Amino acid sequence: MNIQLLYTSIAGNTKNFVNRLTTYANAQSTYIFTPIEISDVSDDIELTTPFFAFVPTYLDGGNGIHSGVKEIMTNGLMEYLSLNDTNHQLLGLIGSGNKNFNAQYLLTARRYATHFNVPMIGEYELRGTQADIERIYQNILRRLTTSTTSASDTTQIQSNLRMLLFEQEQHGEAIVIDDDARYVSQILPADQHQFEHITNITTVTSPENIYTEQINLIANEHYWMCPIKKKSLTFK
């Protein structure tokens, strides 16, 4: 099976990483990995086989929650993925960025995961390391397996979930965490986390605590960011 790896690269970091990953993967796997670079002038081609997308972070300010966000330079990739959104062939996203930007780290990939309702299955900083390549390769194999063995492409959330909640009347963001499956949800606004089955709830005094814990789980503990369907106990 041919697995396409879509990416956009501005400074060359993403291209470097995807090419190294492709070389490593094709030496290991029965799958054939093919990198495809997307830019603003790429032809619109309908993808009919499974693919993954590598999403770097280029933003003009904002944290994506309270202060808004303006995506720059990766817009062509968003448009390309939107064109193929109805085919349901996008299996996962891999985010990258610079950890020095704190709340903005991986923000573009996290936003794409929520928008397209697909998991962000891996991340790396700048050009990544060999360990990142090997870890993300294994995550791609795992995602390929789960996508073919599950008829609904979803994993039911179990009763041992926990929630981190910012208790504030106007905002009240939260994240839901499954430590057994190593999943963390997107940032959930107040009207999307009324999950009465979750009893393990930790409240925090600042929304920054929510963002920090989500990034810690993704970047340091290597949890997948899996969007939760609205008001449903289902991880995508």
Domain locations in the chain? 2-149, 155-235
Per-residue pLDDT band at 73 (split at 50, 70, 90): low
Instruction: Report pLDDT for 125.
Output: 96
Per-residue pLDDT band at 76 (split at 50, 70, 90): confident
- Given a cut of 60, whether residue 209 has pLDDT beyond it is yes
More confident residue, 231 or 208: 208
Mean pLDDT of the chain: 84
More confident residue, 13 or 190: 13
Per-residue pLDDT band at 66 (split at 50, 70, 90): low
DSSP the chain: -EEEEEE--SSSHHHHHHHHHHHHHHHH-SSEEEEEE--TT-------S-EEEEE---BSS--SSSS---B-S-HHHHHHHHHTGGGT-EEEEEEEE-GGGGGGTTHHHHHHHHHHT--EEEEEETT--HHHHHHHHHHHHHHHHHHHH-SSS-EEPPTT-EEEEE--SS---EEEEETTTTEEPPPBPGGG---TT--EEEEES-HHHHHHHHHIIIIIS--EE-PBPTTSSEE-
Instruction: Report pLDDT for 192.
Output: 74
More confident residue, 105 or 4: 4
**CA dihedral for 140, 143, 147, 149, sign (positive or negative):** positive
Candidate from 42-51, 67-76, 154-163 with smallest mean pLDDT: 67-76
**What pLDDT digit, counting tens, does each position of 120-159 carry?**
999 999 999 999 999 999 999 999 998 754 434 444 545 6
Per-residue pLDDT band at 40 (split at 50, 70, 90): confident
- Given a cut of 60, whether residue 108 has pLDDT beyond it is yes
Query: How far, in Å, CA of 23 to CA of 18, rounded?
Result: 9
Q: Say if residue 126 is exposed, middle or buried (CB neighbours under 10 Å; 0-12, 13-18, 19+).
A: middle
Average pLDDT over residues 192-209: 84
More confident residue, 101 or 135: 135
Instruction: Report pLDDT for 151.
Output: 36
> Residue 170 to residues 24, 163, 189: CA-CA distances in angstroms?
48, 18, 10
> What dotted CATH number matches 2-149?
3.40.50.360
Instruction: Report pLDDT for 155.
Output: 47
